[in-house]
Structure 1
Amino acid sequence: MGRFSKYLVASMLVSGSFVAWHATYSQTASKSLGAAANVRMAALRGATPFQNSDGSVPPPGMTTFTLSHDWPTAPLPPITNAPWRTAIGNGLITTKNAPAYAEALKAAVATNARALIAQGSGFDAAAAGWYNEPWVGSLRDPLQGTYCAGAFGPSFFPNTGLRASFDTRVLTYYDKRAAASLYSVWGKTAMRPNVQTANFQFAEGAIVVKAALFQSIDPNQPTGWWDAMTGAQQWNMFIPIDCNADVPAAPTVVPGYIAQFDIVVKDSQSAPKTGWVFMTLVYDSTRPGDIWDKMVPLGAQWGNDPQATSSTATLTENWINPAAPLYATQTLGFGGRLSGPNDGATNAIAVNGKVLPNAPDSGCMSCHSTSQWNAANHAFPTFLLPSFPPPKGQSNPPFLACGNDGKPVKGGAPNICSPAPGSALWMKWFQNRLGTQAMDAGATATDFDEVFAFKSLPLWWSAVGPKNQPMPMLTRIQFTGRRTNQYSGAPARE
């Protein structure tokens, strides 16, 4: 091994993860990407279900993240008098009463959410009855427990005072009622998941929340890089400056703004077609009050509106807050479906040979409707976004990619080869299904939970499965020299 490669491997092993250098992508550096991939896979192979972080060591004296995994071992009693149901008269959620539902749901998690945002890793999740998923520790930063998600830049958010490209990082918690499903699938040791449809089903009233942080990848602008984030709560993380690079640099203490907070609730009474209501809160610097008061609804979604096959069709299972801040409305999904600025619902796609550089091609429930696991081949069957399957034998990327001429190419490329918006194949991603129904034959539905299907189960299999298996989609080095949105797997745009 040459001196360059030895340095690469040593620098990665120091942090116990896949830390490396800013690649130059010369021929010599490209050879070393193979070494980086080997070390990254070795970290996944050596992972344990309840490790707190990726093993990197932050500066002394900093409070670190502790995984909360003492899940309830039995379901809680059935929920009664849920305030979000009461807020709409115990009827169906509609575009008219969705604002009241959203405010009631926000209030239901306010005590814990306010403490989490204010305290960061000082938040005692176990005492609060909030819990984390297993097997994701190899991706978590040691200070806050966040893991890499999206990659964005100024082209997404015009006229909002954005002056840097940024990565997003997320942290998910399950309340007690939701965490009972974690135990149903994973048991006490999380070593042998019981992949049965019934085990993945969440109880009525189960709540899952996700905090999203936005972090500049410009080392000269760690703060003050976006007017929209003025006054936002900051967390310090110990992370590479750009986690979406092919081979990230060594970790350092980096601040991030809490910009988005998602709340999803199992509610088959209010939303019988899917069984879930998704809500996204976003930071609004103009609102009065404390940091939680400034997290305002972007909107709510309780179905995929399968009848709305054009970008101008009326949505009846989706509500967008007309008073939401501008930046948060610039990344809405297909036809205006709910999608927050963290969520990657606008992408560069190629349709019939024509490149569409900023196409809304997803939505919260559309993406989560792909939540399924094929236990026979230990795989996440269908990509998160409308796309065509990759060529036979290709696992990287997990979709057919197109060049800037709109034509398919083997391997990575800047665009997703996509079905035509509104076509029958495109609308496969926009159907209303219950959480018991998988998107694809032969798969097991995971009740709209992508943490099960897209994160925990693939990472579990990386640790316990064959040594020669390909790297999971969400951690794969792309070998392209471009940033990649790890949240969706799609090529990143600036």
Structure 2
Amino acid sequence: MFRSVRSTVGLTLLGLGTVAHAQTAAPVRPPKVPPIQGPMSRPTVARAAEKAVAATKETTSGFAYRNATTPPAPGWTGPVFQLSHDYPQKDPGTCPANVCTWLSNKKVTFDQTPGEKTQTQWSPEWAQYMQQLLDYVREGQDLQLDNQVGWQVKVNGNTRWFHMPWMAYDTKTGREFVHGLTNERTAQISDFLGEQLVDEGLNKLSLSATKETAQGYETWAFGVYNEWGGYAIGRSWNTDGTPRIDKNHNGGPQPAGLPFPEGTLVAKLLFTTATPKDVPYLEGSPVWQADRHQTKGTLFLCERQVQEVRLIQLDVAVVDKSSPTRWVFGTFAYNGKLKGKTVWDRLEPVGVQWGNDPWSSPAAAKADSLPIVQSVLNTKIGTYQHFGCNNRLAGPVDNKLSSCMACHANGYTPQAGVASPSGSNTIPPIFGFPGQCTTNSVDNANYFTNNQFPMAYAGGQYPNLMNMDTSLQMWVAFLQYGQFNQFNQPEACVNPSGT
């Protein structure tokens, strides 16, 4: 689903109330003042220190709001991504019913407790709900999502879509310069076509995103927030690139712009390096350019070059107070077999999720497990779908041992300005852990739980963390700011041994 980028994982993608602003708990450390040549007066030394601090703030802002990890090469004539970060300064207020049409849809309900004997079934009402989300996302966009046109942040003359800062700091997985895509999970052929093809001689690749090989298919994606989500982002980050923290939000510090307000909609488009030759139903999918990783033999390298990617999945998430988690996630899959004049006509709904069903396996023992009631799946979709853990929702290139909601809801970070280096085990392992989905365990019970901002992590073993209100892009932003603040450089991208 909306899985985001971190150096330890071949990446990922989302964003509410308003609280008083406070300074970040860990301010940026100014660089050392250069050695003074000859005697200087105290005022002169003070001015030099002030200039050094000012230079640091400029650098912080530059890293936070830069467009891509590396700029286009000289002579590049294709599209160039521009970060949309002129966030709304005024509270947008209640979303009008004719804009957020999904909020007034009374034909679907979001159950909070179990009680059904079978899983909630897909119906025309759910299809209509998903169409309302799709209609909002597609408004003002190119009908074929042409590469040269790209994504339009303005709709009807006003800026509708905003991006998260700090997504271009990590040189391995951060934003590329053509369309602002970030590197996410590497999929395997069985994700697209099913396990039976693996038995027919195709390479079975590790599910882990850290096991990247050329036989796998990289995922590159970008996420955008509407004005309600953009307002929350702007309340969480200063224009100088430092975070805004409410130091005592329900007992502990949290991002000042969270929780995201009702009306927030987050959309994420996911592109794959697979082609129609690999996955036949990708025929006719929009082909975009992306400055993505080169390969050498069976290995992905740190070095990038502009290559093709194709649309495979669209994720949408909205804040809805009637949901037990305050969030509703929906996923679409591209199906080139469908008839339709536009690419939007060939996006099929995979399903909807509004909770983690903590009373169902593997959060509960199989003997006590109750039917899933907080995910509804389109089991008659025209393409193969692996879905998520025990029939929870997950999209085509998502981890089938997880779910959209579980992955996002467990996004926690250390306090602002504190890093979480690879292997440090200081935050929950949201992208996978031993026994994930396969065994009834405390880890699975903690992972597949229902929580809301600003609740602490369910297990209690990760104290004093900040809750990102399901936004894994906000999660990335705080982790990358912490890396910058503590180490003044991103984690290094190291090519695999043998290259």
Q: Same fold (TM over 0.5)?
A: yes
Aligned to 1:141: 176
- Cα distance in 2, alignment partners of residues 420 and 160 from structure 1: 22
1:247–1:477: 8 Å Cα contact kept in structure 2?
no
The offset of 1:444, in angstroms, is: 1.7
- What is the deviation of 1:46? 11
Which of 191, 210, 216 pairs up with 2:268? 210
Between the aligned partners of 1:106 and 1:230, the Cα distance in structure 2 is 21
Could you say which residue in structure 2 is the equivalent of 1:229? Answer: 282
> Residues 84-483 of structure 1 correspond to what in structure 2 (within 5 A)?
84-89=102-107, 92=110, 95=121, 97-112=125-140, 114=142, 117-119=145-147, 122-126=150-154, 127-138=158-169, 139-156=174-191, 157-158=193-194, 165-194=216-245, 196=254, 199-216=257-274, 224-242=277-295, 248=301, 250-269=303-322, 271=323, 273-289=324-340, 290-310=342-362, 313-327=370-384, 329-330=385-386, 332-343=387-398, 345-346=399-400, 360=401, 362-375=402-415, 377-379=418-420, 381-385=427-431, 387=433, 416=434, 421-439=439-457, 440-453=462-475, 455-467=476-488, 471=491, 477=494
In structure 2, distance between residues paired with 1:247 and 1:228? 25
**Closer, same or farther: CA 196–481 of 1 in aligned 2, 3 Å:** farther
Q: Quick one: which amino acid aligns to residue 188 of structure 2? A: G
Aligned to 1:55: 70
SS of the residue 1:130 aligns to: coil
Would you say the 8 A contact 1:121–1:143 is kept in 2?
A: no
TM-score by length of 1: 0.69
Q: Is the 8 A contact 1:151 1:166 kept in 2?
A: yes
Q: Which has the higher helix share?
A: 1
Structure 1 contact 197–436 (Cα < 8 Å) conserved: no
1:159-205: CA deviation from partner (whole Å, max 9, x where unpaired): 67999531100101010111111111102222234262552210101
Tell me the alpha carbon deviations over residues 289-309 of structure 1, each in whole angstroms, 9 at most, x when there is no partner.
Answer: 110111111111000011112
**Is residue 117 of structure 2 the alignment partner of residue 77 of structure 1?**
no
Q: Deviations over 1:417-446 (max 9, x none)?
A: 658623233111011111221314311211
Q: Which structure 2 residue ranges, 5 or more long, are not aligned?
A: 1-6, 8-58, 112-119, 204-214, 246-252, 421-425
Structure (1 or 2) with the larger CA radius of gyration: 2
Partners in 1 of 2:144 and 2:470 — Cα distance? 24
Q: Aligned with 1:426: secondary structure?
A: helix
Cα deviation digits, residues 45-92 of structure 1 (max 9, x gap) = 996111111214345211211111111123211124231133334854
Partner of 1:263: helix, strand, or coil? strand
2:301 touches 2:495 (CA, 8 Å); kept in 1?
no
Counterpart residue type for residue 68 of structure 2: S
Give the 3-state SS of the residue equivalent to 2:218 in structure 1.
Answer: strand
RMSD: 3.3
Structure 1 residues 121 and 55: alpha-carbon distance in aligned structure 2, compared to 1, 3 A threshold: farther
Partner of residue 83, structure 2:
67
One-letter amino acid matched to 2:415: A
Structure 1 residues 63 and 385, CA, compared in 2 at 3 Å: closer, same or farther? closer
Tell me the SS of whatever aligns to 2:439: coil
Alignment partners' CA distance in 1, 2:410 and 2:138: 29
8 A Cα contact 1:386 1:426, kept in partner: no
Q: Distance in 2 between matches of 1:419 and 1:230?
A: 33
In 2, Cα distance between the equivalents of 1:77 and 1:128? 16
Change in 2 beyond 3 A, CA 1:114/1:427 = farther
1:319 aligns to what SS in structure 2?
strand
Tell whether the 8 Å contact from 1:166 to 1:215 is kept in structure 2 after alignment. Answer: yes
In the aligned structure 2, how far is the partner of 1:197 from the partner of 1:47? 21
* Superposition map of 1:16-31 within 5 A: none
Q: How many residues align?
A: 383
Give the letter aligned to residue 183 of structure 2: C
Q: Which moved more, 1:294-303 or 1:197-206?
A: 197-206
Query: What amino acid is aligned across from residue 442 of structure 2 in structure 1?
Result: A
Per-residue deviation, 1:477? 4.6
Distance 2:78 2:432 in 1: 42
In 1, Cα distance between equivalents of 2:91 and 2:221: 27
* Matched AA of 1:55: T
3-state SS of 1:237 partner: strand
Alpha carbons of structure 1 residues 131 and 448: separation in structure 2 relative to 1, 3 Å: same
TM-score (norm 2): 0.69
Q: Deviations over 1:428-484 (max 9, x none)?
A: 10111112213143112111111111x1111112222235x983xxx76586779xx
- Partner letter of residue 103 of structure 2? R
- Distance in 2, matches of 1:136 and 1:384, equals 18
Is residue 87–residue 100 contact of structure 1 (8 Å, CA) maintained in 2? Answer: no
Structure 2 counterpart of 1:34: none
Are the structure 2 counterparts of residues 188 and 198 from structure 1 closer, same or farther at C-alpha, using a change threshold of 3 Å? Answer: closer
Three-state SS of the structure 2 residue aligned to 1:210 is strand
- SS of alignment partner, residue 278 of structure 1: strand
Offset of 1:129 from its aligned partner?
1.6
The separation in 2 between residues aligned to 1:122 and 1:321, in whole angstroms, is 29
Closer/same/farther in 2, CA of residues 296 and 186 from structure 1, 3 Å limit? same
Change (3 A) 1:249 1:431: closer
